[in-house]
């Protein structure tokens, strides 16, 4: 019998672990790390698309993009809220992000070169996020699972607005169609990398599955994403940049090529085109906001004194 009999029992019975429950220290630290990385990804993920808000081609697209980027901020905050139930502190997590001590998704270290990128991010990047996040709604840690439910409800809008944007561009000029194809060519492989390294190189997966933090392996989710995306690409009239992509009737799945895993390693460890700029901007926002946070805190303290 371990010291965590109630914890083990709850996991075995597929019940949720709640904040005040006793839990193994490694479960707590794994959960904090995963939730924090996820929160950081949502926050940093505002930047690539945010760059296009002022340059959106119509007022409608601008309003949609603003709402979408605001949602991503919300997702980050739901997740920081979940991380704080485990004893983490939001200020400390932000500090860890801007000092490079905690990671965020590698996908946000690629540049957004044209407005078609906004559409492709909604379709593929949010699409991949949905594949990852839907099973996390049944993750064993209660506050994380509940945050994921809230997030998944909002992600569907993100994916659909992106796909609709692309449909609109594909019905436009040849130059617009080329922009869409170019964006697909650049985002397809990084999107596949969002599911993480192949199962054989993912040492933490087994423990995360045993604790029911994760419900599917990286490769299972990647396959699901490819199977979903291929008919969507066909409907759109774009080509996915993978010569090995082919239906395999014996597996009932699409076969597909392997992403460049060296590139993933390089981008995760800081070598992507945008790593420095993303962190620099987050740090700048934190620094610029410091006086506001301090002034608000001082104002609140003074009001409290007056009230006494």
Q: Which residues bind other proteins (CB under 8 A)?
A: 6, 18, 20-22, 67, 70-71, 74, 77-78, 81-82, 84-85, 89-92, 94-95, 143, 146-147, 150, 154, 293-294, 296-297, 299-300, 303-304
Q: Which is nearer to Fe ion, 228 or 245 (CB)?
A: 228
C-alpha dihedral sign at 237, 241, 243, 248: negative
> Rounded to the nearest whole angstrom, what is the least distance from the CB of residue 200 to other proteins in the complex?
36
> What does 204 bind: other proteins, Fe ion, none (CB cut-off 5 to 8 Å by kind)?
none
Give helix then strand counts, H and E, for the chain: 13, 2
> Rounded to the nearest whole angstrom, what is the least distance from the CB of residue 159 to other proteins in the complex?
16
Segment (H or E) for 254: strand 253-255
Binding interface with Fe ion (CB under 5 A): 42, 72, 75, 126, 155, 158
> What does 158 bind: Fe ion, other proteins, none (CB cut-off 5 to 8 Å by kind)?
Fe ion
> Rounded to the nearest whole angstrom, what is the least distance from the CB of residue 126 to Fe ion in the complex?
4
> What does 18 bind: Fe ion, other proteins, none (CB cut-off 5 to 8 Å by kind)?
other proteins
> Rounded to the nearest whole angstrom, what is the least distance from the CB of residue 140 to other proteins in the complex?
15
Q: Which is nearer to Fe ion, 61 or 177 (CB)?
A: 61
> What does 212 bind: Fe ion, other proteins, none (CB cut-off 5 to 8 Å by kind)?
none
Q: Which is nearer to Fe ion, 75 or 212 (CB)?
A: 75
> What does 126 bind: other proteins, Fe ion, none (CB cut-off 5 to 8 Å by kind)?
Fe ion
3-class secondary-structure state, position 11:
helix
> Rounded to the nearest whole angstrom, what is the least distance from the CB of residue 54 to other proteins in the complex?
21
CB 133 within 8 A of CB 151: yes
Segment (H or E) for 174: helix 174-193
* Longest alpha-carbon distance in the chain: 75
Angle at 84 between CA 267 and CA 135, to 5 degrees: 60
Q: Spell out the residues 6+ positions from residue 63 whose beta carbon is closer than 8 angstroms to its own.
A: none
Distance (Å, whole) CA 37 – CA 108? 13
> Rounded to the nearest whole angstrom, what is the least distance from the CB of residue 190 to other proteins in the complex?
28
> What does 297 bind: other proteins, Fe ion, none (CB cut-off 5 to 8 Å by kind)?
other proteins
> What does 54 bind: other proteins, Fe ion, none (CB cut-off 5 to 8 Å by kind)?
none
Q: Which is nearer to other proteins, 67 or 113 (CB)?
A: 67
- What are 137's two structure tokens? 């709604």
Q: Spell out the residues 6+ positions from residue 179 whose beta carbon is closer than 8 angstroms to its own.
A: 114, 115, 116, 169
Distance (Å, whole) CA 106 – CA 101? 15
Dihedral, 19, 83, 35, 43 alpha carbons, nearest 10? 150
> Rounded to the nearest whole angstrom, what is the least distance from the CB of residue 147 to other proteins in the complex?
7
> Rounded to the nearest whole angstrom, what is the least distance from the CB of residue 145 to Fe ion in the complex?
16
Distance (Å, whole) CA 158 – CA 127? 8
Q: What is the CA radius of gyration of the chain?
A: 21
Q: Which is nearer to Fe ion, 11 or 65 (CB)?
A: 65
Q: Which is nearer to other proteins, 246 or 300 (CB)?
A: 300
> What does 74 bind: Fe ion, other proteins, none (CB cut-off 5 to 8 Å by kind)?
other proteins
């Amino acid at each position: 019998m371990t010291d965590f009999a109630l914890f083990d029992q709850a996991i075995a019975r597929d019940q949720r672990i709640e904040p005040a429950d006793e839990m193994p220290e490694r479960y707590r630290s794994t959960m904090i790390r995963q939730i924090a990385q996820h929160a950081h990804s949502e926050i940093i993920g505002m930047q690539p698309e945010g760059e296009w808000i002022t340059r959106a081609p119509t007022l409608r697209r601008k309003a949609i993009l603003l709402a979408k980027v605001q949602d991503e901020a919300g997702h980050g905050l739901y997740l920081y809220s979940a991380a704080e139930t485990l004893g983490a502190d939001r200020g400390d997590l932000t500090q860890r992000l801007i000092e490079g001590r905690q990671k965020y998704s590698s996908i946000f270290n690629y540049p957004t070169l044209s407005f078609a990128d906004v559409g492709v991010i909604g379709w593929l990047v949010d699409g991949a996020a949905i594949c990852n996040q839907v099973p996390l709604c049944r993750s064993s840690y209660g506050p994380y699972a509940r945050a994921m439910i809230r997030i998944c409800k909002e992600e569907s809008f993100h994916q659909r607005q992106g796909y609709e944007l692309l449909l609109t561009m594909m019905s436009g000029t040849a130059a617009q169609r080329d922009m869409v194809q170019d964006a697909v060519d650049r985002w397809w492989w990084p999107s596949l990398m969002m599911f993480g390294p192949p199962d054989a190189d993912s040492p933490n997966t087994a423990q995360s599955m045993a604790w029911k933090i994760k419900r599917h392996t990286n490769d299972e989710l990647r396959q699901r994403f490819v199977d979903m995306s291929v008919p969507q690409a066909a409907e759109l009239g774009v080509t996915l940049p993978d010569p090995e992509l082919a239906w395999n009737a014996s597996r009932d799945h699409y076969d597909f090529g392997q992403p460049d895993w060296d590139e993933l390693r390089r981008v995760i460890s800081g070598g992507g085109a945008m790593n420095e700029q993303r962190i620099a901007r987050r740090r700048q926002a934190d620094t610029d906001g410091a006086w506001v946070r301090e002034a608000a805190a001082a104002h609140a303290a003074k009001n409290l004194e007056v009230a006494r």
